[in-house]
Amino acid sequence: MMERGEILSWLRQDDPRELERLWGLADSLRQENLGDEVHLRGLVEVSSHCGRNCLYCGLRRNNDGLERYRMGEEEILACASRAAELGYFTVVLQSGEDRALDTGKVSRVIRRIRQELPSMAITLSLGERSTEELALWRESGADRYLLRFETSRRDLYRMIHPPSGDDSTSDRFRILHQLRALGYETGSGVMVGIPGQSYSDLADDILAFGSLDLDMIGSGPYLPHPDTPLGRLYRAARAGVAGQVPNSLEMACKVIALTRVVCPQANIPATTALAALDRESGYRLGLQRGANVVMPNLTPPRYRALYQIYPGKAGLSGEEEQHAAVAGMIAGIGRRVGASRGDSPNYLKRTATAHKQGREMKCLQPQA
């Protein structure tokens, strides 16, 4: 396990020759633990409605200039089928915190995907939900859940993510523990370069990935949205903070690489935010510096541009064009597209251990 001081030193490192050592270490750990497959997950942004008012997100409730949408069940099923046609083994259903995506509707969609596409893994990223909802979706057939904690510093989290009435006691760390207890392959992550974020904060975030024993970790650069409070105050917010973490491609790659060192068996995506910063090289650099997953966007074109978490979003081209570009890039760096669900080795090891312990405990029980 890398110590906090060493993580801090790498985060502050600017020497390209030294950083090549970090990129090489991360890439070798990726190859050793996950091989050369890059797993493609079909991303479907099922709703742009959100009840939260986060200061950084373009989907925030008070953004009146955004045209909202909510996909129907048949539309979502069609996207999952398209993912299968393209050879993907995972579909990711993502939305704002939309309460109209009620428990029953989501459960029906999960069951239908499970029935019609039995080899497809189902990942949910639907925000903070009750234990009862999460348990039902797991029972319905959902495999994975993504919930980014954004920053481990509580006061900074509350500043950018104010409570919205019914969630005044929300705790994403508690929910992540619940997800793991329910048997989900559990994912989280942070934003890199949030105004007010220090290098010490980011080091603590990376250590938190390890202590949470996460199976999937997706971190990307903070991208200011002009129609949000934080976006409008972006320059002023950064100017007054000493030791502010930059929201650069290089810094995001440092976080990917250090995450790989701390969590060698986790699945780590090269996020779409990397590609938004650098359309030509964002995905490639992420994959060469520790990542092993890419999530092409399969949201129907009429909705895709409306899902405006941040501006300059990547993945707005056609599905075939997008797939061909990603597959070509993967081949170009000597890797290959994954031909399986690509479950996290960390998750498989943990669940195998739990099953073994369960069998041993059963054997120790007195016989009637």
What is the distance between the alpha carbons of residues 12 and 5, in angstroms, rounded to a whole number?
11
Examine the pLDDT at 234 and tell me if it is beyond 80.
no
Note whether residue 200 is domain-resident: yes
Maximum alpha-carbon separation in the chain: 72
Note whether residue 355 is domain-resident: no
Note whether residue 180 is domain-resident: yes
Q: What is the pLDDT of residues 330-364, one digit of tens each?
A: 999 999 999 999 999 999 999 987 655 665 545 55
Note whether residue 19 is domain-resident: yes
In the chain, the number of structural domains is 1
Note whether residue 181 is domain-resident: yes
Record the tokens describing residue 162, joined without a space: 């104010």
Residue from 331, 306, 343, 301 nearest 319 by CA: 301
Note whether residue 358 is domain-resident: no
**Would you call 114 exposed, middle or buried from its count of C-beta atoms within 10 A (0-12, 13-18, 19+)?**
middle
Q: Span 109-128, mean pLDDT?
A: 98
What is the distance between the alpha carbons of residues 91 and 121, in angstroms, rounded to a whole number?
6
Q: What is the pLDDT of residues 35-94, one digit of tens each?
A: 999 999 999 999 999 999 999 999 999 999 899 999 999 999 999 999 999 999 999 999
Identify the CATH number of the domain in which residue 80 sits.
3.20.20.70
**114 residue type, one letter:** R
Note whether residue 168 is domain-resident: yes
List all residues 6 or more positions away from 247 whose beta carbon is below 8 Å from its beta carbon: 191, 192, 193, 194, 221, 222, 223
Residue from 156, 91, 86 nearest 125 by CA: 91
What is the distance between the alpha carbons of residues 253 and 358, in angstroms, rounded to a whole number?
39
What is the distance between the alpha carbons of residues 349 and 194, in angstroms, rounded to a whole number?
34
Record the tokens describing residue 237, joined without a space: 């917010």
Examine the pLDDT at 10 and tell me if it is beyond 60.
yes
- Look at residue 361 in the predicted model and tell me its pLDDT: 46
- Domain extent, residue 275, equals 4-343
